[in-house]
Amino acid sequence: MTAPEPIPFKAEGPQPLLREIPAGQPYPVSALGPLQSPVEAVQGMALAPIAIPAQSALAVASLAVQGFANVETLGGSRPLSLYCLTIATSGERKSSCDAPLMAALRDYEKEQGQAQRDDMQSWQNAHALWKAQRDRILQDAKSGKGEKRVAAQADMDDLEKEPAAPPYPDRVVTEPTFEGLTRLYATGQPSLGIFSDEGGQFLGGHAMNSDNRQKTLTALNDLWQGNPIRRTRAGDGAYTLYGRRLAVHLMAQPGVARAFMSDPMAADSGFLPRFLICEPPSRIGTRLHAHIRPDEGALAAFSHRLREILETPLPMDAETRELQPRVLALGSGARKLLIQFADAIEVAQAKGGNLEHVTGTASKAAEQAARISGVLTLWRDLHAAEVAAPDMANAITLAQFYLSEAARLADAATVSVEIDRAERLRTWLLESWTEPEITPRDVLQYGPSALRDSPKATAALKLLEKHSWLVVLEPGTVVRGAARKTAWRIVRGAGDVV
């Protein structure tokens, strides 16, 4: 009996152009050390991707300890400040992950706010008395002559300093402008955080609009480095604020994050490479109540530890509120591990290496590892003298994960640009090009201006061919009276597919 002829495959029609992003590595939660248990507790309740509470825990811990020490790195001492960006769609329970890890901080801010209001009343009374005394001396100086004027000058010299207003107590803001952040540093706490579970409010807000973006990026880069804030403005005069620290955690939806990550200024200024970025795979559709694993004990321990650190006085100058952090040294084992990691990353950045396309982020990976190791160390023991090898090993594992995410998302951004070009060409072919075939020369001469470059045009045509919007013709096929080496037939709908 003769075998039946195989049924030829028939395409169902052209396929949508999709931005295919390869899956990332699993988050190395065991490398969080003292933060692992609370992170797993939050994930067990929210059933969100574990990277989301991991980012929150790291950022909160960084905010808590950054005022107490700088960490030794291979390039000198650096702040313990971490900038984190978590990318997740609406419905991934970002707020549900962030809230329990921020709860102790919010309670502390509320209590300190009440205490500050009580102190404000006392300050207003003290300031009113001081001002009345100063006004009296000034009046005597204006009306007096000779010895009386000299006596008024002596009284002014002896006058006590103007009473300082009690500092604003909040540690966290959501969408500040650079000016607002500077004022808060001048009148409030020297260690602050920009935390938002709707990061688009900050990334798309006033501070990051076209007029302010460069100024904001420069200021936040300086704070990450631990540099002073220098302020010069008509009406305010010029002043410099030393010893300020900033931690950042922005949770953003993919569209907002992609726009931020594709902004050349964010990358070229070095702002984006300072972030620990991750975009975990969605768990929507798998979060069944039967899987919930409550662990109130781990969360209570985290909140207790956070409260202990917040209640520990920051090392700072009483008058200027300038932080005076000590240097957290690297133990010999930790230093050895960091050197090995830094050398491996350096080699991978060479031409042809797997980190060639993310050198900005890769060049900061060793420093990020040192910062993370310092955060883990001080979270466990605020008075630790040095970073031990186990904490550095964990920090390197985390830094490697974030670097792999940066490389993966950079690749995805490149794919996204290529998809956008192909979509632009597809729209032009269907709406503006009336011929049934297309050649590369046609695209270069008549196509969208963004594609009047041979490599870009060829890549877009190949992508449309891959998704069945174009069917390649045999070399030598006659198109509009001439044999063509390369040409395609345009597929305008499912009925055009042969």
| DSSP states along 313-372 | PP-B-TTT--B-PEEEEEPHHHHHHHHHHHHHHHHHTSTTSTTGGGHHHHTTHHHHHHHH
Per-residue confidence band for 4, with pLDDT thresholds at 50, 70 and 90? very low
User: What is the separation, in whole angstroms, between the first and last Cα of the chain?
Assistant: 31
Residue 8, pLDDT score: 41
Residue 453 clears pLDDT 50, i.e. is over it: yes
**Of 103, 106, 107, 101, residue with least CA distance to 42:** 101
Average pLDDT, the chain: 88
Q: Residue 137's pLDDT is what?
A: 76
CATH number of 29-115+165-283+292-415: 3.40.50
Rounded to an integer, the average pLDDT of 159-182 is: 85
Q: Across the strands, what pairs with 263?
A: none
Q: What pLDDT is stored for residue 156 in this prediction? A: 73
Average pLDDT, integer, range 205-224:
86
More confident residue, 20 or 474: 474
Sequence-ordered list of residues with C-beta below 8 angstroms from that of 157, at least 6 positions apart, any chain: none
pLDDT in tens, 112-155: 988 888 877 887 887 778 788 887 877 777 776 666 677 767 77
Q: Is the pLDDT of residue 13 over 80?
A: no
Q: What is the 3-state secondary structure (H, E, C) of 187-221?
A: HCCCEEEEEECCCHHHHCCHHHCCCCHHHHHHHHH
Domain extent listing, the chain: 29-115+165-283+292-415, 432-496
pLDDT average, residue stretch 484-489: 94
Give the contacts of 247 (CB within 8 A, at least 6 positions apart): 59, 62, 63, 66, 81, 82, 83, 192, 193, 194, 195
User: Mean pLDDT across the stretch 420-445?
Assistant: 92
Token pair of 20, please? 């295919």
H helix or E strand, kind and range, residue 409? helix 389-431
Pairing relationship of beta strands 326-330 and 477-479 according to DSSP bridges: unpaired
Q: So what's the pLDDT on residue 365?
A: 97
Spatial CB neighbours of 35, under 8 Å, sequence gap ≥ 6: 54, 57, 58, 61, 302, 376, 379
Residue 279 has pLDDT above 90, yes or no: yes
